[in-house]
A and B are shown apart, each in its own frame.
Chain A
């Protein structure tokens, strides 16, 4: 099953009030069969940390994608930490010249997850949480590294960053999802007492598998604004990697009511008309398991092209079907 990703960062109420930019930054990329997500939370005390966080997520995610197989083959964990920190610090050193500031002005945390060829790699420095999903359910991979007090944490610019950085690697086996979250999102998606992830994380991973990231991202931003921001003053960010599995079943294995939700069809499935609409969407999704042009689809549905296009539009708008260079394709296929 193919891995999908999504990420977003939303300005917190505290920063909105003070007109301070969102200091959480996220990145995702897919390069040479390696998928990477990265998240950095700029230090509140650092004036330009939003620039720093952005440099760090972009440069480190590119580095991890490029060197993924070298990183997981390396047996000396200290070297891996030093390499990642050196890339992060180099990106910040470059940024100091652009913004005419010191390294500390650009301080941020760093969380990374990458998958490729049946393997995974994780890196975590500072607060925030890395979680994952396997056949046993949601698990926490790396808990927040706070000091004793709420406003204390470690940044890529800290002198003891290497000692605090945690790295993990291994075979994916039944793992079908990873989540990176900043401390703002942590307030709603992580139980600090028992160190468990909230059930909502699995739902987000499932959507990540099945809904086009371009459609899902604004929905996720709206959901964060209306639900998660209520519980914190801080910026909130998330990055998710997920693939279909027993825990995150593909569309055609979902119950009727869930498929109806994904297809955004109103009405009770007790009515034949509603069921018919759902089954038609099922059929289109099945036909689009591989890229198909609109004309081909119309022919297979025995419909005129404009009618086929109308049916297709519902699924494109819902993010279930995407346009590719060769036509249309079901996103989660």
Chain B
């Protein structure tokens, strides 16, 4: 009986969005070999605060992370609801300053740019973490304003912060970033996931970003498991309805993180 409700007489409101910002460490130390066959060249170089043996071959921590991020995108694209609901922005920190690699957009529109830019990430320079978190929070604020202006409903934004080291950018920027994430998380305006990669990640510093949930150290280089868990959590969130309490599957964390 569709003459009662004709499609041309209906409104089409956008799907409520789940904005997610990935704030990723691409400092020189992310170029360290974590697997695969290697050949030692005998050379040594000083990067990101320490001396490194230069080898050929092998798989770097950054390559593992890139694989995880791509898997995250692929999983979201395969999900009927999350595909139109999730919006991802990627900020990296390496060199001397953070860089906005991918700004928020619908996943389908972002796809070709994502394939080029994520795979082209290179490990280089220092760890300006405070600057990167501030940039990530600015991107989230801008996107929320755009949603409001366009009448698009949205869920609480998520910020994923991944690092294998300790911040070595500006202290004032770091303090400002910590203060901003604390205020937002305490007021339930932000869900933050600080993730340490490997044994040298500064977990004390990561803890300062997250007043409600302790940081997690990735078990080995289990990026894939983490991003699988993250995409499943985004999918669940995108299907929640008003009044739903969004519960994170914390048991699912055990597979990829040391608690």
Q: Which of A183, A193, A198 contacts B9 (CB 8 A)?
A: A198
Is A223 a contact partner of B1 (Cβ separation < 8 A)? yes
Inter-chain pairs besides A41-B243, A200-B6, A227-B2, 7 sampled, C-beta below 8 Å: A44-B242, A148-B189, A198-B10, A207-B4, A223-B2, A223-B4, A231-B13
- Which positions 145-195 of chain A face chain B at CB distance < 8 Å? 146, 148-153, 155, 183-184, 186-195
Chain A residues in 8 Å Cβ range of B4: 203-204, 207, 219-220, 223
Does B11 have its Cβ within 8 Å of any Cβ on chain A? yes
A155 to B9, alpha carbons, bound, how many Å? 31
Does A137 have its Cβ within 8 Å of any Cβ on chain B? no
Q: Which of B3, B10, B12, B242 has the most C-beta atoms of chain A within 10 angstroms of its own C-beta?
A: B242
Q: Could you show 8 A-B contacts with beta carbons less than 8 Å apart?
A: A44-B241, A44-B244, A150-B153, A151-B243, A188-B11, A191-B13, A192-B13, A198-B10
Is A14 a contact partner of B5 (Cβ separation < 8 A)? no
> What is the interface of chain A, defined by CB distance below 8 A to chain B?
12, 14, 41-46, 49, 107, 109, 126-127, 146, 148-153, 155, 183-184, 186-196, 198-200, 203-204, 207, 219-220, 222-224, 226-228, 231, 233-234, 261
Chain B residues in 8 Å Cβ range of A204: 4-5
> Given known contacts A151-B155, A193-B150, is B9 in contact with A146 (CB within 8 Å)?
no
Does B239 have its Cβ within 8 Å of any Cβ on chain A? yes
Is A190 a contact partner of B244 (Cβ separation < 8 A)? no
Chain A residues in 8 Å Cβ range of B245: 45, 151
- Which positions 1-34 of chain B face chain A at CB distance < 8 Å? 1-7, 9-13, 16
Chain B residues in 8 Å Cβ range of A45: 243-245
Is B12 a contact partner of A188 (Cβ separation < 8 A)? yes
Interface contacts (Cβ under 8 Å), in number, total 118
A186 to B81, alpha carbons, bound, how many Å? 18
> What is the interface of chain B, defined by CB distance below 8 A to chain A?
1-7, 9-13, 16, 81, 150-156, 189, 239-246
CB of B182 to closest CB in A, whole Å: 18
Is B153 a contact partner of A153 (Cβ separation < 8 A)? no
Chain B residues in 8 Å Cβ range of A49: 243
A19 to B7, alpha carbons, bound, how many Å? 28
Is B3 a contact partner of A261 (Cβ separation < 8 A)? yes
Is A153 a contact partner of B2 (Cβ separation < 8 A)? no
A204 to B3, alpha carbons, bound, how many Å? 10
Chain B residue with Cβ nearest A144: B242
> Given known contacts A151-B246, A234-B241, is B154 in contact with A200 (CB within 8 Å)?
no
Is B11 a contact partner of A191 (Cβ separation < 8 A)? yes
Is A146 a contact partner of B5 (Cβ separation < 8 A)? no
Is A44 a contact partner of B5 (Cβ separation < 8 A)? no
Per CB-CB distance, the 5 closest pairs between chain A and chain B, nearest first, are: A193-B151, A43-B243, A44-B244, A200-B9, A150-B16
Q: Which of B7, B13, B189 contacts A227 (CB 8 A)?
A: B7
Is A183 a contact partner of B242 (Cβ separation < 8 A)? yes
A223 to B2, alpha carbons, bound, how many Å? 5
Chain A residue with Cβ nearest B244: A44
> Given known contacts A148-B189, A191-B11, A198-B9, is B1 in contact with A222 (CB within 8 Å)?
yes
Is A228 a contact partner of B5 (Cβ separation < 8 A)? yes
CB of B256 to closest CB in A, whole Å: 26
A220 to B243, alpha carbons, bound, how many Å? 26
Chain A residue with Cβ nearest B1: A219
CB of A155 to closest CB in B, whole Å: 7
Is B9 a contact partner of A191 (Cβ separation < 8 A)? no
Chain A residues in 8 Å Cβ range of B1: 219-220, 222-223, 226
CB of B245 to closest CB in A, whole Å: 4
Chain A residue with Cβ nearest B148: A148
Q: Which of A43, A187, A207 contacts B13 (CB 8 A)?
A: A187
A49 to B156, alpha carbons, bound, how many Å? 23
Q: Which of A42, A150, A190 has the most C-beta atoms of chain B within 10 angstroms of its own C-beta?
A: A150
Chain B residues in 8 Å Cβ range of A42: 243
Chain B residue with Cβ nearest A17: B239
CB of A26 to closest CB in B, whole Å: 17
